[in-house]
Structure 1
Amino acid sequence: MILGIEGVSCVGKTTLAAALATHLDQPAVIPCYYHASPDPTRLPKPEPFTAENQLTNIAQFLDVEELRFARALQALVAERDVILDRTVDTLLAHAHAVGRMHGFDCDDQAQHAVTSRGVAMPDLTIVLTADPDVLARRARLRKGMPTIFYDRHFSEHFNAYFDRPLAPAVVRLDTTTGSPEELAARALDHVRRHQAGERALREAS
């Protein structure tokens, strides 16, 4: 299966991906766009001020997605699970959020750009959420973190996008309740239930 881990920066995606990796079938953990890029310094700035800028940025990220997609396909051919640290829905959630913050709307064009390319689409996406004040405290510990990534309004709009994402199945988990181990256990429970549901559908057909 392909499992996506989503959420704004500093919410705990990479930590959860690492925790879940020990419970899945020799999974390929595919890093986020920044770490998957051959040259992260050439990635666009996170806060475009026009729809045209945002669509240009998405095109650049989709070039990185080609690399991630190839890695996902290679893992699936080897019958391994895939864990995506961010999915293409991140690109659309970001476009949705900055558009609402700066007074433009390129959601439909952005979705068309994404769906016209080969992408790694998760079977299940887990969206992590946290109180913006908690995120801001975490972000201050990370040198150079752009302030938009822990802006309360950005978080609200980013998370709202996942009411209607591309991913076919989405669950939300609050990372501020319970320990990291308890969060991983809750996430794994959703993964197992999704896998059981998929098996039942295959057997029924």
Structure 2
Amino acid sequence: MTIVAFEGASYGGKSSTIKRLRGMRGIGPHAFVSACYVDHIDRREDIPPARTGSAAEQVAAFEKFMQIEAARVAAVSESTADLIILDRSVDTLLAHAYALDKLYGYDVQARLRACLATMPHLKPDHTIFLDVPPETLHLRRKVIGHAAAESEYFLHNPAFLEHARSYFTTPTSGAEPVSRQVTLLPADTTPTDVAEVARALILHWTK
């Protein structure tokens, strides 16, 4: 069994890429796909806020998502698929905490990592980080018609994007990804082109 996770910023193309992969030769029939954490939460008002107001709120958000992670672990354990594809992984949770630590001094990332060691979670063999410039993310969000004002959309805050990206691209001791390998994939091209490159990577890893 090979576990491949897709990471990257909101509107980076993770779900769109995975959707296309499911229909591609060599991938679709053999893959078990687990949706993004927020897709497992029925009511939007129950989704933890992206911009938490305190360290305690950030820990609570982590615990909420780790309940979903436990369910993902159970589903994967029951699967007979040779390929597991994750729309985000526990590295999303740690990268988010890392960014908020840098921005607001919460100092919870190390604590969450210590908790993670005692919790069931999926450790990706490979992570594909879809790397998209901030200006492209903003344009995609505008085209889709996101209602909130740009200045209010915390997940596209420039400083947040920079810190979250650096968690994957320039890891430091004690704040390195859980995934065994991270591969950056420039993803400001067409969704089909991104999916084709992702498919080639996955087939190489699983051959």
TM-score normalised by L of structure 2 = 0.85
Matched, 1:57 2:68: no
Matched, 1:73 2:77: yes
When the two chains are superposed, the root-mean-square deviation of aligned CA atoms in Å is 1.8
Structure 1, 26-35 or 43-52: larger mean CA deviation: 43-52
Q: Distance in 1 between matches of 2:160 and 2:105?
A: 13
Q: Does structure 2 conserve the Cα–Cα contact (< 8 Å) formed by 1:36 and 1:67?
A: no
CA 1:14 to 1:26, structure 2 compared with 1: closer, same or farther past 3 Å? same
**Consecutive unaligned residues in structure 2, runs of 5 or more:** none
Structure 1, 40-49 or 55-64: larger mean CA deviation: 40-49
* Counterpart for residue 89 of structure 1: 91
Structure 1, 104-113 or 123-132: larger mean CA deviation: 104-113
Matched, 1:35 2:39: yes
Structure 1 outlier segments of 4+, above 3 Å: 143-146
What whole-Å deviation, never above 9, does each CA across 1:118-138 have from its counterpart, x for those lacking one? 112211110111111111122
Q: Does structure 2 conserve the Cα–Cα contact (< 8 Å) formed by 1:95 and 1:106?
A: yes
2:141 alignment partner AA: A
Output aligned runs, 1:119-198, within 5 Å: 119-140=121-142, 141-144=145-148, 147-162=153-168, 163=171, 164-176=176-188, 178-196=189-207
3-state DSSP class of the match of 1:120?
Answer: coil
**Consecutive unaligned residues in structure 1, runs of 5 or more:** 197-205
Q: Distance in 2 between matches of 1:39 and 1:88?
A: 21
Q: Does structure 2 conserve the Cα–Cα contact (< 8 Å) formed by 1:43 and 1:61?
A: no
TM-score normalised by L of structure 1 = 0.86
- Matched-pair identity in %: 26
| Cα displacement (A) at 1:154 | 1.0
Q: Distance in 2 between matches of 1:43 and 1:113?
A: 21
CA 1:155 to 1:190, structure 2 compared with 1: closer, same or farther past 3 Å? same
